[in-house]
Structure 1
């Protein structure tokens, strides 16, 4: 019971840090200004890990490797700690290492998909409740590339854009597939 509780706390804290690192990566990739409340919060919560990582992992164009690689490293570490805390044993070292690295990468993708879902939902709610919110422009820039293909195919019905609903369905399908892949790779770790 104590191992499960500790695992839950570590996964929650690690997941939060991973999300902040992914937001930082996405904001840099899409050239969203950090001169707003969201940007300042992301910088304040991630500078402690990103600034030292910049010496090891320089950026490649707009891709911020100093934020993305630590996010993956945190997920790899969380996977190892989860296996240890639940009392499972590692199997073959080579396949276990490959499984841990793959599960970490899948968890980063899963976190990015959850982040996209959150941004789409909050953006849709803000468009109805407070379209002039300071957060609205950043969310719009972050979600626009994902909504654009659906907006080209699905016309608005009575002025209501249904593309966020279709995108959320596609993301849910992707999360379902990722969960099954994660389970398969997790079996490599403990078998």
Structure 2
């Protein structure tokens, strides 16, 4: 039995659990940026899932303007812990500045994924949500995606009632990822 026999499932579990929590912490940042409604059930879940560590970090780290630096530091710490845990399981840890590079690449990739999925969710909800009904996720993804979609909607008008702006924003996010990720990971 090889050592990777147990390592691969363990890496999968550790990576997935840390990644899910990273998403929740990142959504707490997005929540503040997009001015999500405080009483929304998803917002309440995000706050409750992150309140204890954020409250602890706020004792030492003050907010800078509109940004909750404690949440940013929490995201950095959780990402670092994920990289450390997976690196220890694999038996390969980044050296020196590679830590910072891999950490930033991981967070950048996380936000690209979050915005990609949120745009896809908004598109699907626009197809399946009956008129006049309420979905607690719809206003959140709409507010989150508006700064990305609005400029494209101003440039590309709706064609026969079909809004192509999500398609162009998704393409733009993927191109941005293709341009930035090699710089962050040093694979130029």
CA–CA separation in structure 2 for the residues paired with 1:181 and 1:82: 22
Pairwise CA distance, 1:15? 0.8
Pairwise CA distance, 1:168? 0.7
CA–CA separation in structure 2 for the residues paired with 1:182 and 1:80: 18
Q: What secondary structure, in the 3-state scheme, does the structure 2 residue paired with 1:46 have?
A: helix
Contact 1:154 1:163 in 2 (8 A): yes
Asked if 1:37 is matched to 2:41, the reply is yes
Pairwise CA distance, 1:42? 0.6
Pairwise CA distance, 1:105? 1.6
Contact 1:110 1:178 in 2 (8 A): no
Match of 2:23 in 1: 19
Per-residue CA distance 1:88-112 (angstroms, 9 max, x = gap): 365xxxxx23111221122111111
CA separation of 1:7 and 1:177: change in aligned 2, threshold 3 A? farther
CA–CA separation in structure 1 for the residues paired with 2:93 and 2:40: 46
Contact 1:80 1:100 in 2 (8 A): no
CA–CA separation in structure 2 for the residues paired with 1:106 and 1:183: 6
Contact 2:104 2:184 in 1 (8 A): no
Structure 1-normalised TM-score?
0.86
Contact 1:34 1:40 in 2 (8 A): yes
Match of 2:61 in 1: 57
CA–CA separation in structure 2 for the residues paired with 1:163 and 1:141: 15
Contact 1:10 1:78 in 2 (8 A): yes
**1:111-190 matches, cutoff 5 A:** 111-130=110-129, 132-184=134-186
My pick for the range that moved more, 29-38 or 163-172, is 29-38
Runs of 4+ in 1 over 6 A off after TM superposition: none
Point out the structure with the larger helix share. Answer: 1
My pick for the range that moved more, 75-84 or 119-128, is 75-84
Contact 2:22 2:75 in 1 (8 A): yes
Q: What secondary structure, in the 3-state scheme, does the structure 2 residue paired with 1:139 have?
A: helix
| Number of equivalences | 180
Pairwise CA distance, 1:83? 2.4
Structure 2-normalised TM-score?
0.87
Pairwise CA distance, 1:174? 2.3
Pairwise CA distance, 1:5? 2.2
CA separation of 1:184 and 1:80: change in aligned 2, threshold 3 A? farther
